[in-house]
Structure 1
């Protein structure tokens, strides 16, 4: 019988309980694109109309058409839940009305602009948090986002486009999606749509063509989106296969990211998470503080940002005082304590002059450890 097969095992009570809890939640479908204007909202609405024709109760919780006629045409057949009006600094803003959506209790709700930051006074800071509440209520959600808004690729997008994307969503939220669909069109087709006025207002067209919407940028973003979705498919296949076998493959990897107060710390953390995610590894973030324990206001702000990233990436944040030890010794002690298998350091962990006077941190770590891989991440931003 199947249960007697050596590669199958009986699920624990905790696993069964988790599955029952998850089964009561709504399912999330994400439409992902390489850039604005590829047709995410249009396809999402098109699918919603088809579902309505099949007798499924579908409503709109929030949709942003950006004045695109094709998108607006899709809305007419669908019921819209009234938006929540919030007054802030004397002005009125419209936001997704989570309470009304849950009260309406449809089978599926459309919630566009996943990376949106809610206006001050909203119950949640971010729209993805609103969607989490709706999913917890057992309502399925269709939503859309561009690849540049995903936290872990933020540094890559900035390197490609020169633009720092401020509205970002945690990768852990994206992983909750039951299905991810890539909406893909060639860069030249997208540029033609822009020139034809189908994406932005006329006054924004020329600037967009010569800045964010260059052929090179769009090609690189498209490749990034294709790669991320391919990785997602691979992970889902692995997950399905993994459900049938007893335990994980190979040795459990543990990755330690060492950050200091500089401009590349967040980049290191994101790089570390991407490695940890690919390797199914635990992630640790280490900051070595000075002996006097005094922190400037800027450093305290940095620490808060690192802790927020650590929380997003399910990482363990470690703040370790030097206590008379050299930084390399602190790193070695922490690596041994947590049985780390890989260490990430920034290229600027020590200047060339400091290496001449005090020795290389990398060499010192290598002398004191064995079977630990050390990765040096370039500072280029």
Structure 2
């Protein structure tokens, strides 16, 4: 019995229609065909764009399946025909598309999964706003609720994700030149979805999502070529203690994380033999609640050696920025033993440390170094 390997999936993702995802996919299809790979187009949406139509010439297209629904004949990708044809690579446009109700699968990404299971490689395209976990974020940024979505796992399990990127200004210029939509749609598009602020926000989401995807893939595979301390995404760790003024520190760290669009963590190191008073316990509980309100992750470690605990946590969570309060030691103690900051810097070579003054009011907080 012949056993098929699962096909490999490469996704071209962009911030919006018109960035060139389909064109880029077709370019790669031509390149691979020239190298002797058997490439077919499974589904292509040109939207009457002349450049896209021209780029498809020379690539075999599998005819679409005709489906009658509500007395209307429509077309969808013909998955059985693709499986029968057995190409090495199939190009599939608009991964988030919803199929006609009488189709075998509800969504096009499910069609793609069936093709991958058959051992056929797939190149596909999608826009960042179609990712399920970003649906609320996109609605808040643009005021538009995206109906067609794909599960995050589709992006996470892809063998390769390529961001096709242009500036918002370039995209608006393409729109004005009639390269994206028909002339009658240009003005309304510029005044709605294609506003510069919308495009800038979506572009940042796309770039950040792909950066996360690359970093997570490297981490899961233990990529020897990329150091464990090499991070694409910023991660902020706030080190708190039982001193009441560390609540200010936590808030300041949350602002730093927000400015950097970074993941946010709060660490409390609890010495195993130390008994916390009721006030101290309430303080730690308050810090944990605040951390969660800021969308962060609260970490509590039992360890005698505070420096060791901070260093190990920073390495485990791939921290890039550490936020700490001023040392409570006297200058004499610092002279003989060194400050906590100096000791951590010796252990963590690729981490920035922010020392925040918490001895004054929140309005008087300042970064010391």
TM interval, short-chain normalised: 0.5 to 0.7
Choose which of 3, 6, 17 in structure 2 pairs with 1:36.
17
1:74 aligns with 2:61: no
1:191 aligns with 2:172: yes
Q: CA deviation at 1:195?
A: 0.3
Match of 1:96 in 2: 77
Match of 1:162 in 2: 143
Aligned residues: 238
Match of 1:180 in 2: 161
Distance in 2 between residues matched to 1:225 and 1:150, nearest whole Å? 10
Q: Deviations over 1:165-211 (max 9, x none)?
A: 00000001111210000000010000000000000011110000011
Match of 1:114 in 2: 95
Choose which of 14, 17, 27 in structure 1 pairs with 2:8.
27
1:223 aligns with 2:140: no
Distance 1:242 1:49, change over 3 A: closer
* SS of 1:237 mapped into structure 2: helix
Distance 1:193 1:242, change over 3 A: closer
Query: Please, what is the CA RMSD of the aligned residues?
Result: 2.4
Choose which of 288, 293, 297 in structure 2 pairs with 1:376.
293
* SS of 1:375 mapped into structure 2: helix
* SS of 1:165 mapped into structure 2: coil
Q: CA deviation at 1:371?
A: 10
Match of 2:26 in 1: 45
1:208 aligns with 2:189: yes
Distance in 1 between residues matched to 2:170 and 2:224, nearest whole Å? 41
Distance in 1 between residues matched to 2:49 and 2:7, nearest whole Å? 29
* SS of 1:141 mapped into structure 2: strand
Match of 1:235 in 2: 216
Distance in 2 between residues matched to 1:41 and 1:71, nearest whole Å? 7
1:84 aligns with 2:65: yes
Unaligned 5+ runs, structure 1: 1-20, 245-277, 280-365
* SS of 2:292 mapped into structure 1: strand
Distance in 2 between residues matched to 1:376 and 1:243, nearest whole Å? 36
Q: TM-score, normalised by structure 1?
A: 0.59
Choose which of 46, 53, 58 in structure 2 pairs with 1:65.
46
Q: CA deviation at 1:236?
A: 1.1
Q: Which aligned segments of 4 or more residues in structure 1 are displaced greater than 2 angstroms?
A: 369-378
Q: CA deviation at 1:228?
A: 0.6
Distance 1:236 1:75, change over 3 A: same
* SS of 2:214 mapped into structure 1: helix
Distance in 2 between residues matched to 1:35 and 1:370, nearest whole Å? 41
Q: CA deviation at 1:120?
A: 1.0
Match of 1:267 in 2: none
Q: CA deviation at 1:237?
A: 1.0
Q: CA deviation at 1:145?
A: 0.2
Alignment of 1:269-348 (within 5 A): none
Distance in 2 between residues matched to 1:372 and 1:60, nearest whole Å? 52
Distance in 2 between residues matched to 1:158 and 1:243, nearest whole Å? 39
Q: CA deviation at 1:375?
A: 2.2
Q: CA deviation at 1:95?
A: 0.3
1:54 aligns with 2:35: yes
Q: CA deviation at 1:234?
A: 0.6
Choose which of 121, 129, 135 in structure 2 pairs with 1:140.
121
Match of 1:128 in 2: 109
* SS of 1:222 mapped into structure 2: helix
Distance in 2 between residues matched to 1:171 and 1:123, nearest whole Å? 22
